Amino acid sequence: MANEKAAAKTPAAPKKAKKSPLKYFKDARSEFKKVVWPSRKQVINNTIVVLVSMVVSGIAIWGVDSIFMLLIKLMLGK
């Protein structure tokens, strides 16, 4: 009796219908048409921001690494 109630409470998982590859690519194409693509100016601006961020992060990591190496050398007396 308890098993029947537990089984009745859990909903059955919906079955997935198989899609043909052609239907998949048609759906993908229609989704790509909905995408708002950035302008050339936005892409260039975002690329510059990423490159500058990478350079600044690299310099910061190099600086922290250099400080730690100096501290280790001072502690070990080499």
The domain segmentation of the chain, as residue ranges, is: 37-78
SS3 content of the chain, % helix, strand, coil (to 5): 75, 0, 25
Mean pLDDT score, 59-65: 98
Q: Is the pLDDT of residue 1 over 60?
A: no
Position 48 scores a pLDDT of 98
- Which pTM does this prediction carry? 0.56
8 Å CB contact between 46 and 38: yes
Q: In Å, how far are 12, 14, 54 from 17, measured between CA atoms? A: 15, 9, 45
* pLDDT per position as a tens digit, 29-59: 999 999 999 999 999 999 999 999 999 999 9
Element (H, E) at 75: helix 40-76
Position 45 scores a pLDDT of 98
What is residue 14's DSSP assignment?
A: P
